[in-house]
Structure 1
Amino acid sequence: MHNILITSASGYLGGTVLARWQSANLPSYSHLYALYGAEPLVANINNQAEIASKIIDLNITVIYFLIDAYTAKHQSNMIQALGQVKAKTGQDVHFLHTTGAKQFIRHAGMPTNEPLFDTNPHLYDLQKNAKGPHAFFNEFVHAHAIIIDEAERHSVRSYIFAPCLVYGRGEGFGNKTSIQDVSIVQAAQGARRVCAVDSNNQTWPVCHVIDTATLYLQILRKILSGEDIGHGKNGYYLASSGPITWNEVYKAFAKALYKRKVVDDDDVHQVDEESRVKMAEGLGVKPQEIQVLMGGKCLYTAKRGYEIVADQEVELILEGLENNKGKASIR
């Protein structure tokens, strides 16, 4: 039986996953640990010895890591501890790292001339060798390969899970809003207007927070059932229901912000140098960094998640037909 650790249980995504936990009717497991909403596990993430000791002593076999989407400074220690649990118990062990769709865009050195499916067998190599225009972004992208390689060395099954432009009210007790949505509002507050940061109408994958949480739980369902789903170099997962254009997002926010007198009009303006500086002040970043936070072209496309969700849906349909001996009907 698995013992599970969920980090950032009070966060936007982690809190929503835990809020949906009971209704998900997951297969049996032994213990669920988290800072909040489960058996409490309190530890300092920067104290590697303490973290490793708790993972090993509690025989934790599944870790959902939702703390740091940009570096690999904490994950290797936890993965090594999982490897020790596997050596001790003989159980398969799993590490899911939460990243972001930004790590799959042009700024990250990724191709944007055609859809980049999360089932692409070359994703690992593309990211390991990526070299984008921003040095800090290269570290973000290379973190994935570091995690996958470390997991492989210690016989840990790894998963790289990417939320996208997530919307909707989070259901946890802590943070209830999406980081990207907040960035648009903060930039608009600084400039007193909503500005498009791209010269053309770029697209980005989008997903409701509940659907994102559902994919987290569906992956966990497969793990607890002992099913062999894509992992390691073939373990990339994007939670997305489809693409949206940034102009659609900007227009909706402009109307809502103008209604609340946060901006001076409900139009979407093309960013100029003056607005760029004011937006950057609102965001607390350098002017050249605002496009990374609230724009860009992302053709990262979900496919793997649909496959495992469809498998579960077919199982439920067949079970329902068997139980009810139902036939198709016109309502």
Structure 2
Amino acid sequence: MSHNVLITGGSGYLGGDLLARMGAANLPPYRKLYASVRTAEQADGVRQYGAEPLFFNLKDESEIRTTVIDREITVVFYLIDAVQYEPPLFFIQALSEVKKATGRTVHFLHTTGAKLFSSHADAPTDRPLLDTDPQLYEIQKSQNPKLNVAREGVRTNCAVVEQAEKYGVRGYVFVPCIVYGKSKGFGEPVSTLRQIYMIVRAAKTLGRVYRVDSARPEWPVCHIADNTAAYIELLRKILTDENPSHGKNGYYLASSGSIAWDDLYDAIAAALVKRGVIADGSVTLASEKNVEDMGTALGVPKEMVPVQLGGKCTLSARRAREELGWKPAYPAEHILEAADGEVEWVLEHLRD
């Protein structure tokens, strides 16, 4: 029972589901579970899952260092920001101090996103891109995205790998994709950052569903229960000191397969017509003016609309299946069956 575990983002969509499911996961024993929080309400929320809430600024190097070192935290699951460069490195440096002081193996898992392995980030899309590809770090390192946010995200991914190796920390880059399903956490049951939310919000404002790609690109998908199961199986390996692949071989995509955006648009449009939100369920290619209007509806610059609602990603999941024994319960096509319920949840939580 040598590990103290910290989960950041426990009030969020992914982190909340992870906390909620850990109790029934029959994990190997560990010393203590912590969760970062910002409010007293969140503190009460994480306590119900057996986690001790910690109040500290996740962007303050000194507070991160003090929190990690004083509590001898040896495992950090970071689920709050896929782009910002400095906080992950603060955690890695703090973990290295714990390693020096205790002699224990320390671990940092960075949650990124499939967008950073897609056409939006200058990743190769002319072939399957396996998360087990021994050249994946070099591929990512060579990417040169045009969008600043993608460029920063790629930089952060690479820095996590490099700095973890430099400081003797076992680093992992965990890649959620289009994640769907209702979170079991106490916070957000429906993430306002997810693609389905964005599609519904734009369609509600514009009166119809538009697609943003002229071709028929595909994207990996994963039910939230399966995404969380991959987190848990990786944690299981860490807690039993089974040395799961890390560093330049530490990329883990949680996905049961890919679907075409067009099929997802069609399913969402049908659900919106059913509820009288839009009158026409046909999906057409967005004009430049449509894209501009969608950006206004989503509160993002028009150049970010295709990033939120389309693109091509050929990243394929192998490592979690082969090394962790992860077996997703839901096939990729299940998202199309679940779209009706997804739309219902989004409409209930839509923020005008």
TM-score > 0.5 by shorter chain: yes
Question: What's 2:20 paired with?
Answer: 19
Alpha carbons 2:237, 2:324 under 8 Å: kept = no
Query: In the alignment, which residue of structure 1 is the partner of 2:331?
Result: none
| Aligned counterparts of 2:55 and 2:173: Cα–Cα separation in 1 | 25
Contact 1:130 1:142 in 2 (8 A): no
The equivalent residue for 1:259 is 274
CA distance in 2, matches of 1:159, 1:39: 24
In 1, the alpha carbon distance for the partners of 2:87 and 2:277 equals 39
Q: How big is each residue's C-alpha offset from its partner over 1:122-171, in whole Å with a ceiling of 9 and x where there is no partner? A: 11111122112323311111111111111111100000000000110011
- Give 1:275's match in structure 2, choosing from 290, 295, 300: 290
Q: 1:135 to 1:312 in 2, by over 3 A?
A: closer
| Unaligned 5+ runs, structure 2 | 38-45, 329-352
Question: Where do 1:171-210 residues align within 5 Å?
Answer: 171-178=184-191, 179-210=194-225
Aligned pairs, number: 313
Match of 2:239 in 1: 224
Structure 1 portions without partners, runs of 5+: 314-331
**Offset at residue 311 of structure 1 (A):** 7.8
Q: Which residue is equivalent to 2:321?
A: 306
Deviations 1:229-258 (A, max 9, x none): 110010000000000010111011101112
Please say which of residues 254-263 and 110-119 is displaced more in the overlay.
254-263
Please give the alpha-carbon distance, in whole angstroms, between the structure 2 residues aligned to 1:149 and 1:287. Answer: 34
State the alpha-carbon separation in 1 of the partners of residues 326 and 59 from structure 2. 39
Shift of 1:312: 9.3
Contact residue 237 and residue 304 of structure 1 kept, 8 A: yes
Q: Which ranges of 4 or more aligned residues in structure 1 deviate by more than 6 Å?
A: none
Match of 1:327 in 2: none
Give secondary structure in 1 for the equivalent of 2:219.
Answer: strand
Backbone CA RMSD of aligned residues:
1.4
Q: In 1, Cα distance between the equivalents of 2:59 and 2:304?
A: 28
Aligned equivalents of 2:79 and 2:227: distance in 1? 13
Structure 2 letter corresponding to 1:167:
Y
Q: Structure 1 length normalisation: TM-score? A: 0.92
Mark the CA change 1:309 to 1:254 in structure 2 (over 3 Å): closer, same or farther. same
Q: Is the 8 A contact 1:168 1:209 kept in 2?
A: yes
- Residues 70-89 of structure 1 mapped to structure 2, 5 A cutoff: 70-89=83-102
**SS in structure 2 opposite 1:23?**
coil
**C-alpha spacing 1:3/1:312, structure 2 compared with 1 (3 Å):** farther
